[in-house]
Amino acid sequence: MGAFALRDVVDECYWCGRKATSAEHVPPKCIFPELKDSEGINYRKNLITVPSCDQHNLVKTKDDEYLLLLLVVNTLRNEVGKQQFDTKLMRLIRQKPWFVSNVIGNANSIHMFDTDDTLIGTGKAFQVDIKRYDSIIEHVARALWFHEYGLRFRGRFEILINGLRYNSVRSIHKMYAVYEKELFRIQQTLLFKGENPDVFRYVFTYGRKGRVHLSMIFYGFQMLFIVMEASCSWSWGMNMKRRRHNKSLELSP
Ligand SMILES: [Zn+2]
């Protein structure tokens, strides 16, 4: 289906504008459970695709599997995320034990705190390759932008909340917890998109000075918040037009 959809869009990579060679799923298809793993529930309804060159296709770089792993081992996940852990990730571990041990081999035991400093549990934490992770998130965000507006994103890009909750520095994870509570609040007022919301949903909203905010939620609880500031002037007019339709948009911090 993705291949046919390409004809309707420009035949250019969503990121660099070079000739597209395939349709990239955004977010990667592997995070959406296959039918055999989901007791017959279809979690792959109308997945989003964008035209992509080889260089900007996450599947070709295997970064899709890295994202899957980070999402399903996170303590913030719903039953569908747990299901993906028990099925898809376990198969991946059997097929490529080295891949998983390279990523989570250095795990340590940690204590987890809530915003009021109460201990909410213990768990394991491991070092994430932040450069790689940020790059994956940027691919997803740019592809969603392309899908939403039909144009490549050019401008300033910043991940304010990356969904990786715990840090060895206590004050930092407290700060994230505050953001997360704020995001839970805006969930009540914003209309998220995505036809498989238990796996992934997202919404673009509009902040001050022409900034566009992208909020994404994976597996019900893992929230990411991104600021995208397009450098070209068309974005400003577009934001003004959209703003009329969607009023409650700004995060307070
Ligand atoms: Zn490209």
Ligand 1 midpoint to CA 24 (Å): 11
Token pair listed for 130: 């932040």
Ligand 1 midpoint to CA 174 (Å): 37
Ligand 1 midpoint to CA 94 (Å): 32
Ligand 1 midpoint to CA 13 (Å): 5
Q: How far is CA 249 from the centre of its chain?
A: 19
**Higher pLDDT pick, 162 / 18:** 18
Instruction: Specify the pLDDT at position 48.
Output: 97
Q: What is the rounded CA–CA span in Å between residue 148 and residue 38?
A: 29
Ligand 1 midpoint to CA 21 (Å): 9
DSSP the chain: -HHHHHHHS-SB-TTT-SBP-EEEESS-GGGSPPGGGTTT----TT--EEEE-STT-HHHHTHHHHHHHHHHHSSS--HHHHHHIIIIIHHHHHH-HHHHHHHHTT-EEEEEE-TTS-EEEEEEE----HHHHHHHHHHHHHHHHHHHHSS---EEEEEEE-S----SSHHHHHHHHHHHHHHHHHHTTS--B-S-TTTEEEEEEE-GGG-EEEEEEETTTEEEEEEEEE-STHHHHHHHHHHTT--------
pLDDT above 60 (res 9): no
Question: Nearest 5°: phi and psi at 50?
Answer: -135, 150
Average pLDDT, the chain: 82
Ligand 1 midpoint to CA 139 (Å): 10
Ligand 1 midpoint to CA 20 (Å): 7
Ligand 1 midpoint to CA 48 (Å): 17
Task: Please write the tens of the pLDDT for every residue from 27-64.
Answer: 999 999 999 999 999 999 999 999 999 999 998 889 99
Ligand 1 midpoint to CA 112 (Å): 40
pLDDT category of residue 245 using cuts at 50, 70 and 90: very low
Full-model pTM: 0.81
pLDDT category of residue 240 using cuts at 50, 70 and 90: very low
Ligand 1 midpoint to CA 147 (Å): 15
Task: Please write the tens of the pLDDT for every residue from 87-126.
Answer: 999 999 999 888 888 888 778 777 777 667 777 777 777 8
Mean pLDDT to the nearest integer, 228-232: 84
Task: Please write the tens of the pLDDT for every residue from 180-209.
Answer: 677 677 777 888 999 999 999 999 998 888
With the CA atoms of 33, 35, 41 and 42 taken in that order, what torsion angle do they form, in degrees rounded to the nearest 10? 70
pLDDT above 90 (res 26): yes
Mean pLDDT to the nearest integer, 81-91: 95
Instruction: Specify the pLDDT at position 176.
Output: 65
Ligand 1 midpoint to CA 228 (Å): 19
Residues with Cβ within 5 Å of ion ligand 1?
13, 15-16, 53, 56
Instruction: Specify the pLDDT at position 184.
Output: 72
Ligand 1 midpoint to CA 224 (Å): 23
Ligand 1 midpoint to CA 38 (Å): 33
